[in-house]
Structure 1
Amino acid sequence: MRIVGLNGSLSSTSNTYKGVKAVLDHAAEHGAETVLFDLRDTPLPLFHPERRDQLADENVYRFISLMDEADGIVLGSPEYHNMMGGAFKNALEWVGGRQFKNKPVALISATGGPSSMTTLSAMQSMVRSLHGWVVPVFGSIPGTTEFKPNGEFRDPAMQLRFMTIGAELIELSKLLKQRRQDWEQR
């Protein structure tokens, strides 16, 4: 089983990255192969609808391939002005229903304020429009969140929440992978 995470934050001290990594680490500890696509290291060009099928850019090709091969997805976006970050949204313009249909998707967002529910709600709506299955527990990372040097949350309740997101993603990935295989055989 392969879980692909997208870090949509460009910040060098990104809490979004740390949240996505926490979910991926939990999935890896439970036997999943995990891959992190980090926009800080692997930037994508601005999406252009007339160039969508021209996969001349190596990073775009790699991103689309990873999303095609994913059994489960972790999406992480910072919250800017009560909305998803531009780099994150741009990345998702390059993919579509083919990459999300009947796949579970965990949602993570970090904000400078107390909660990023506006961004998480927008992400949920986007994933549902692409026929993905949103993991019921969201990962909202407030601006005051502290992390241990090993990347875990200092707050045990936050650490448990992100472990729960990872566990739900794994279970849904197993279930939906089997269903996708069954549906393809019909």
Structure 2
Amino acid sequence: MKIVAISGSMNPQSTTRQAVTIVMNAAEEAGAEVELIHLGDWKLPIFDCRTDESTYPEAVHRFRDTIASADAYIIGSPQYHGSLSGSLKNALDFISARELEGKFVALVGTAAGQMGATNALNTLNEICRNLHAWPLPSSPSIPQSYSAFLPDGSLKDAKLQDRLESLGRQLVQVMGNNGVRMDVR
């Protein structure tokens, strides 16, 4: 079982990356192989609908291949201006339903504000459904993420820490219960 986790932030000190890592670690402990894509480490150009996709840089082809190799996904985004990050939306524009169809997705969001990342998570749910993927019903959101983590990378809020860990375990469990993919037809 291979899971690809995407941290949709460009910030090297990303709290989104920290949140995604908690979910990843729980999925690994439950038996999955997990690979992290932190968008800040990838040099993806702006998606421009070019007709000759072979002219995209190697990073785009490597990104698509990595996404296609996964059985399921963990996707995290900070909430910027009431939605997901532009870098994550741009990255998702490079893939299609061919890569995500019938696969499960665990979503997590972070936000600087007290309301959390509800809008970003709702938008990610909609994007996943449009790409024929199956987002899990639980989508934890970390409000005031700039002060939510301890130095060891865990969350100060033990209940929220448990929700993120449960999300990683649930993703592995649902993959095992449903033969990794679900037919969407």
Structure 2 length normalisation: TM-score? 0.91
Q: Which residue of 2 aligns with 1:96?
A: 96
Q: Which residue of 2 aligns with 1:127?
A: 128
Task: Could you tell me which runs of 5 or more consecutive residues in structure 1 were left unpaired when the two chains were aligned.
Answer: none
What RMSD, in angstroms, separates the aligned Cα atoms of the two structures? 1.7
Q: Which residue of 2 aligns with 1:171?
A: 173
Superposed CA deviations along residues 78-106 of structure 1, whole A, max 9, x for unmatched, are 11110111101000000010111110001
SS at match of 1:54: helix
Counterpart-to-counterpart distance in 1, 2:32 and 2:173:
11
Q: CA deviation at 1:148?
A: 2.5
1:67–1:165: structure 2 CA closer, same or farther, 3 Å change rule?
A: same
Is 2:146 aligned against 1:142? no
Task: Could you tell me which runs of 5 or more consecutive residues in structure 2 were left unpaired when the two chains were aligned.
Answer: none
Counterpart-to-counterpart distance in 2, 1:64 and 1:143:
32
Q: CA deviation at 1:178?
A: 4.7
Match of residue 151, structure 1, among 153, 169, 172: 153
- Check conservation: 2:103, 2:181, Cα contact below 8 A: no
- Check conservation: 1:16, 1:78, Cα contact below 8 A: yes
SS at match of 2:141: strand
Identity of aligned residues (%): 33
- Check conservation: 2:23, 2:167, Cα contact below 8 A: yes
List structure 1 runs of 4+ shifted beyond 6 angstroms.
none
Tell me the number of residue pairs that the alignment of Structure 1 and Structure 2 aligns.
181
Counterpart-to-counterpart distance in 2, 1:35 and 1:4:
5
Counterpart-to-counterpart distance in 1, 2:151 and 2:59:
30
Q: CA deviation at 1:43?
A: 2.3
- Check conservation: 1:71, 1:177, Cα contact below 8 A: no
- Check conservation: 2:142, 2:148, Cα contact below 8 A: no
Structure 1 length normalisation: TM-score? 0.91
1:33–1:54: structure 2 CA closer, same or farther, 3 Å change rule?
A: same
